Structure 1
Amino acid sequence: MALIAGKPTIGAAQKLSDNTRQEERHMPDQTHLSAEIRDMLMDCDLFDTLQPADFHTAAGYFSLATLVEGETIFNEGDAGTFMCILHHGVVSVRKTDAHGAQVEIATLRSGRAFGEMAVLDGERRSASCLAASDCLLLTLGKDSLEKMLNEAPRIAARIIRALAVALSKRLRMQDGQRLAL
């Protein structure tokens, strides 16, 4: 993973490679990066309820991360310290079955939030996620969400509500799929 802005949130225990350190020396300035994050948030249907001015403020709390195909984002059972919004690429969601094998339970595409359950409820990760292709992610750390709640509570509330609505829709869809079986 190459971190583009902010502190490491994905694979924090992993050391950044020399190539990543070299990339960081050539990072775009914070104003340009904030505008890029703002534009990505605006492209995400998840946040349709935010006002145009809210995106600029919210962008300051998000970071960008790039991943290469096959890279693990987080593992089932990990502490949930961040959530992601997939801007570009494909993510495989996997759970460990009774025999210890990893089983793919979902494939996520652009615009999809994931990892939010652990950030919102404080529980451990319920599944593993890995990059099924090269990916560009927006990340929001649990600490950044807490900071946003203190500094920009109205915007944070809108983001949390959008996440809750998305979770609710997914649960309703899963309930419908179970009934169809």
Structure 2
Amino acid sequence: MRILQRLRQTPESDAPRLEAESAFFSTVWHEGHPGPLVPWEARAVELGAKPLAARAARRKLQALWAHDRHLATLTPEALARLERYLHFAAVKAQRDVIHQDEYGNFMVVVLSGELVVNRRQPWGESLRLAQTGPGDLLGEMSLLDSGQRFSSCTTLVDSELAVLSAEALDDMLLHDPALAAQLIAILARKLSVRLRAVSSRLGPQSP
């Protein structure tokens, strides 16, 4: 309930209370973690990621998302506002952007290149779950709940990424709640579609 109340309010009408509660995604789910949280800043250093020019990267993102039925609802003006909350980075081939079983709090959008999604099974076998390309989202569940990563995501070739962290999402909730509400709704729809697809493979679809 608290997050819905925050999304309905504007910074002007409730600035003091929002300021005091401006770390919803980056803190509320972290208590009691059995392992350390790996933020994007630490992963970027590990990867040797190089920053990209934000304006050009945002235009690339806009062109890619124009073909996605959910993300296309973000207008050019909304994407221009979203730019300030994103990190844009170039990552070399054969780098693990996301590690299975770690606790993370960021998602990535593929701007160019290819990433493979692998899951290591308990008996040691590596199972390839997907191969992703420009426009695809990875890690959005951990963005929302800072939970354990289900799989690893590795660049197959030199790739360009846009990254949204939980801290940036908190900042968006504080300063641009309408944009945050729209983005969270889109992520929820895309996650629902993905989960239904998985459910349909496992058995009869639930009503």
Distance 1:86 1:41 in 2: 9
Matched, 1:154 2:154: no
Give CA-to-partner distance per residue, 1:53-95, whole Å, 9 cap, x none: 1111101111111122211102112121211001111111111
Structure-2 separation of matches of 1:14 and 1:99: 28
Aligned to 1:37: 57
Q: 1:115 — aligned with what? A: 139
CA distance in 2, matches of 1:100, 1:123: 22
Report the AA paired with residue 112 of structure 2: H
Provide the secondary structure at the position in 2 that maps to 1:76. coil
- Equivalent residue for 2:196, pick from 154, 159, 172: 172
Question: Please, what is the CA RMSD of the aligned residues?
Answer: 2.3
Shift of residue 169 of structure 1? 1.0
100, 103, 116: which one aligns with 2:127: 103
CA change 1:15–1:95 in 2 (3 A) is closer
- Structure 1 residue 96 displacement after superposition: 1.4
2:57/2:111 contact within 8 Å kept: no
Query: C-alpha displacement at 1:99, in angstroms?
Result: 1.4
CA offset digits 1:133-158 (Å, max 9, x no partner): 22111111111111111111111111
Partner secondary structure for residue 41 of structure 2: coil
Q: Which consecutive unaligned segments of at least 5 residues does structure 1 have? A: 1-6, 28-32
Q: SS at the partner of 1:9?
A: helix
Runs (5+) with no aligned partner, structure 2: 1-38
- Superposition pairs for residues 67-86 of structure 1, below 5 Å? 67-86=91-110
- CA, structure 1 residues 171+10, in 2 after alignment: closer, same or farther (shift >3 Å)? farther
Structure-2 change in CA distance of 1:10 and 1:127 (3 Å):
farther
Q: In the alignment, what sits opposite 2:30? A: none
CA contact (8 A) 1:9 1:81 kept: no
DSSP 3-state at the match of 1:83: strand
| Contact 1:94/1:104, CA 8 A, preserved across alignment | yes
AA paired with 1:41? L
Task: Write out aligned runs for 1:2-81 (5 A).
Answer: 9=41, 11-12=43-44, 14=46, 16=48, 33-43=53-63, 44=65, 45=68, 46-81=70-105
Q: Is the 8 A contact 2:106 2:140 kept in 1?
A: yes
- How many residue pairs get aligned? The number is 162
Structure-2-length-normalised TM-score: 0.70
C-alpha distance in 2 between matches for 1:91 and 1:15: 14
What's the CA shift for 1:12? 4.4
In our comparison, the structure showing a higher alpha carbon Rg is: 2
User: What TM-score, normalized to structure 1?
Assistant: 0.79
